[in-house]
């Protein structure tokens, strides 16, 4: 079985197989039924059903992404994949249990993989959920679209701006449907706030305040033996080889919030973790979804010791070409405040959480929507005014797009621009000086030191540049 094999497909061979179309003949997927019988899901016959695979089966996948798909009868989670075989097996049991409950019959139709490259060779899989740590988002999405799979990817879109550009370009070239997990776009209050701003209900927009949660630092953590169930080398992926300790990766006993979220090796911290959501929502209202700031500055405190080294308290600012000034800080209430010449609007998730361990400061974000004048938020958007795309549920919008082949509400290029803006704020934190950005060239202006932050050295054999240049 695939779950018992170790990285049978090199990235180079995977790309060759994909390019030649020799996917289904691979012995990697032999021994499995081709599809689940139509009788299991009634009217949703196999020919009408979207077969989905989950890549990465930890906290966000179990609590958000897989439930987001299995609620729809026209989609079937037929495979799960995780570099931790214990988590992969737990995901199989979880999904089998859900479908057994839905159908009222015994169910054992979920296939298990521990290498996503093997999973992508399965022609029966139409689409994948990418719910991995941040540093694996772009590489897997690029591989997936080249294998002609549609993708729902967790935000942020990439570890670096260079990776994000490669990802967005690969998606455009492939023609596949990719939805970035910026699910605030599918929340009514964020769409309505954006429409109110775009339609001038607060006059000319001047300043946007973005409030994010914070992340505490931690202690030094000793080296530990790598669990036999974890392919730690592949888990590190493109990033440097460092010793294993459980709090660097994810808990072995449960699915609580993982420690990698606080390690700069794998992500930038809350500036991209939550910033990718709020900056995306801000861009939506600002009508700057396909560009970025032109000036960025600010500062942050970084831990001086301990395993966890992402930013702590910070305040960064940015200026956009349209004159809008954005201020981002974890000392601002969690949410987004749009301030114009004739009033302000504040929007947040309220006390809603994606998972139970989300770091939401409920006391700072009690209202989903507020304004300087109550009349602003009771305003009706007229038929001749700007109306933004309506999505009732983010995973559902993705599945609808797979069927229609129309762009989803949070496409790859938009997700890349949201992520890159956050990474620009992170660069300002690191350099502690004003930076000047060219959104068209996606380069800092006359600043070689800052431009070094656009990419990172990548470790073989997982380097994205090798895959991106392959034919």
Summarize pLDDT for 368-418 with one digit per residue, the tens: 999 999 999 999 999 999 999 999 999 999 999 999 999 999 999 999 999
Per-residue tokens: 320: 């956009």
CATH code of 178's domain:
3.40.50.720
DSSP per residue over 345-396, as a string? EEE--TT--SSTT----GGG---SEEESSTTGGGPPPPTTS--PPP-S-HHH
pLDDT bin (cut points 50, 70, 90) of residue 240 is very high
- 303 and 233 housed in the same domain: yes
Q: Can you tell me the mean pLDDT for 261-276? A: 97
Residue 17 lies in a domain: no
Q: Which of 129, 152, 183 lies at the terminal end of a domain, its last residue?
A: 183
**Backbone dihedral region of 31: left (phi > 0), alpha (psi from -120 to 50 degrees) or beta?**
left
> Residue by residue, what is the 3-state secondary structure of 137-170?
HHHHHHHHHHCCCEEEECCCCCCCHHHHHHHHHH
Residue 24 lies in a domain: no
DSSP per residue over 396-420, as a string? HHHHHHHHH----SS-HHHHHHHHH
Residue 331 lies in a domain: yes
- pLDDT value at residue 353: 59
- 221 and 160 housed in the same domain: no
- 422 and 301 housed in the same domain: yes
Under 8 Å between Cβ of 78 and 124: yes
Of 119, 286, 138, residue with least CA distance to 209:
286
Q: Can you tell me the mean pLDDT for 281-296? A: 98
Q: Is 192 helix (H, G, I), strand (E, B) or coil?
A: helix
pLDDT bin (cut points 50, 70, 90) of residue 29 is very low
- pLDDT value at residue 347: 98
- pLDDT value at residue 146: 97
Under 8 Å between Cβ of 113 and 128: no
Residue 245 lies in a domain: yes
The answer to whether the pTM exceeds 0.85 is yes
Q: Can you tell me the mean pLDDT for 294-308? A: 97
Please, which residues bridge with residue 298 across strands? 316
Per-residue tokens: 96: 């089998």
Decide if pLDDT at 83 tops 90: yes
- 136 and 219 housed in the same domain: no
- pLDDT value at residue 48: 83
Share of the chain above pLDDT 90, in %: 84
- pLDDT value at residue 464: 86
Alpha carbon distance, N-terminus to C-terminus of the chain = 29
Please count the other Cβ atoms lying within 10 Å of the Cβ belonging to residue 192.
18
Decide if pLDDT at 453 tops 60: yes
- 131 and 230 housed in the same domain: no
CATH code of 364's domain:
3.30.360.10
CA 295 to chain centre: 25
DSSP per residue over 65-81, as a string? IHHHHHT-TTEEEEEEE
Q: Which domain holds residue 85?
A: 40-183
Average pLDDT, the chain: 90
- 131 and 274 housed in the same domain: no
* Residue with the two structure tokens 């159908």: 103
* Residue with the two structure tokens 């689940």: 36
Residue 247 lies in a domain: yes
Long-range Cβ contact pairs of 219-223 (< 8 A, separation 24 or more) = 219/306, 219/307, 220/305, 220/306, 220/307, 221/245, 221/246, 221/247, 221/248, 221/307
pLDDT bin (cut points 50, 70, 90) of residue 40 is very low
Decide if pLDDT at 30 tops 80: no
Q: At CA 269, angle to CA 233 and CA 438, rounded to 5?
A: 105
The pairing of strands 343-347 and 335-340 is: antiparallel
- 173 and 199 housed in the same domain: no
- 172 and 236 housed in the same domain: no
Per-residue tokens: 150: 């549609």
- 113 and 229 housed in the same domain: no
Under 8 Å between Cβ of 241 and 459: yes
Q: Which residue has the higher pLDDT, 1 or 258?
A: 258
Domain count, the chain: 2
pLDDT bin (cut points 50, 70, 90) of residue 13 is low
Summarize pLDDT for 188-220 with one digit per residue, the tens: 999 999 999 999 999 999 999 999 998 989 999
Under 8 Å between Cβ of 147 and 23: yes
Summarize pLDDT for 41-82 with one digit per residue, the tens: 445 556 689 999 999 999 999 999 999 999 999 999 999 999
Summarize pLDDT for 89-132 with one digit per residue, the tens: 999 999 999 999 999 999 999 999 999 999 999 999 999 999 99
Q: Which residue has the higher pLDDT, 35 or 217?
A: 217
Residue 94 lies in a domain: yes
CA 97 to chain centre: 26
Q: Which residues make Cβ contacts (< 8 Å) with residue 403, sequence separation at least 6?
A: 50, 74
Most confident of the following: 29-38, 227-236, 350-359? 227-236
Decide if pLDDT at 19 tops 70: no
- 249 and 275 housed in the same domain: yes
- 360 and 219 housed in the same domain: yes
Q: Could you give the CA distance from residue 287 to residue 301 in angstroms, rounded to a whole number?
A: 31
Q: Which of 183, 213, 248 lies at the terminal end of a domain, its last residue?
A: 183
Task: Give the sheet arrangement for strand 127-130, strand by strand.
Answer: 111-113, 75-81, 50-55, 127-130, 150-153, 178-180
Q: Could you give the CA distance from residue 46 to residue 422 in angstroms, rounded to a whole number?
A: 41
Decide if pLDDT at 237 tops 70: yes
* Residue with the two structure tokens 């599809």: 35
Residue 313 lies in a domain: yes
Residue 224 lies in a domain: yes
- 121 and 225 housed in the same domain: no
Please count the other Cβ atoms lying within 10 Å of the Cβ belonging to residue 252.
13
Q: Which of 128, 151, 183 lies at the terminal end of a domain, its last residue?
A: 183
């Amino acid at each position: 079985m695939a779950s018992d094999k170790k990285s049978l497909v090199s990235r180079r061979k995977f790309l060759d197989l994909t390019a030649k179309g020799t996917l289904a003949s691979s012995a990697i997927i032999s021994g499995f039924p081709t599809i689940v019988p139509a009788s299991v899901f009634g009217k949703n016959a196999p020919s009408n059903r979207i077969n989905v695979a989950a890549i990465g089966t930890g906290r966000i996948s179990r609590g958000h992404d897989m439930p987001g798909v299995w609620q729809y009868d026209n989609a079937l989670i037929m495979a799960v994949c995780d570099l931790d075989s214990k988590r992969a097996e737990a995901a199989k049991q979880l999904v089998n249990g859900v479908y057994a409950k839905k159908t009222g019959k015994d169910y054992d139709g979920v296939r298990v993989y521990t290498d996503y490259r093997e999973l992508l060779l399965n022609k029966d899989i139409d689409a994948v959920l990418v719910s991995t740590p941040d540093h694996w988002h772009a590489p897997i999405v690029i591989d997936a679209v080249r294998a002609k799979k549609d993708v729902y990817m967790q935000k942020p879109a990439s570890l670096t701006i260079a990776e994000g550009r490669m990802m967005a370009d690969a998606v455009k070239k492939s023609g596949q449907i990719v939805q970035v997990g910026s699910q605030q776009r599918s929340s009514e209050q964020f769409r309505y706030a954006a429409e109110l701003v775009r339609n001038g209900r607060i006059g000319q927009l001047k300043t946007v305040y973005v409030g994010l949660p914070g992340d505490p630092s931690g202690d030094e953590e000793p080296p530990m033996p790598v669990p036999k169930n974890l392919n730690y080398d592949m888990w590190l992926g493109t990033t440097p080889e460092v010793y294993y300790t459980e709090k660097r990766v994810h808990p072995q006993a449960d699915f609580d919030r993982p420690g990698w979220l606080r390690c700069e090796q794998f992500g930038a911290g809350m500036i991209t973790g939550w910033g990718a959501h709020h900056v995306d929502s801000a861009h939506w209202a600002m009508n700057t979804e396909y560009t970025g700031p032109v000036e960025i500055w600010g500062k942050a405190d970084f831990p001086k010791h301990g395993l966890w080294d992402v930013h702590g308290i910070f305040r960064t600012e940015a200026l956009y070409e349209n004159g809008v000034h954005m201020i981002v800080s974890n000392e601002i209430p969690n949410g987004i405040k749009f301030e114009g010449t004739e009033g302000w609007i504040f929007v947040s998730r309220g006390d809603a959480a994606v998972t139970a361990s989300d770091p939401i400061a409920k006391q700072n974000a009690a209202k989903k929507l507020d304004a300087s004048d109550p009349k602003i938020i009771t305003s009706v958007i007229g038929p001749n005014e700007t109306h933004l795309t309506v999505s009732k549920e983010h995973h559902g919008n993705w599945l609808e797009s797979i069927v229609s082949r129309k762009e989803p509400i949070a496409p790859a290029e938009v997700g890349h621009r949201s992520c890159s803006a956050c990474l620009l704020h992170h660069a300002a934190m690191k350099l502690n000086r004003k930076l000047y950005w060219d959104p068209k060239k996606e380069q800092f202006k006359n600043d070689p030191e800052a431009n070094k932050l656009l990419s990172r050295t990548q470790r073989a054999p997982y380097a994205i540049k090798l895959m991106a240049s392959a034919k």
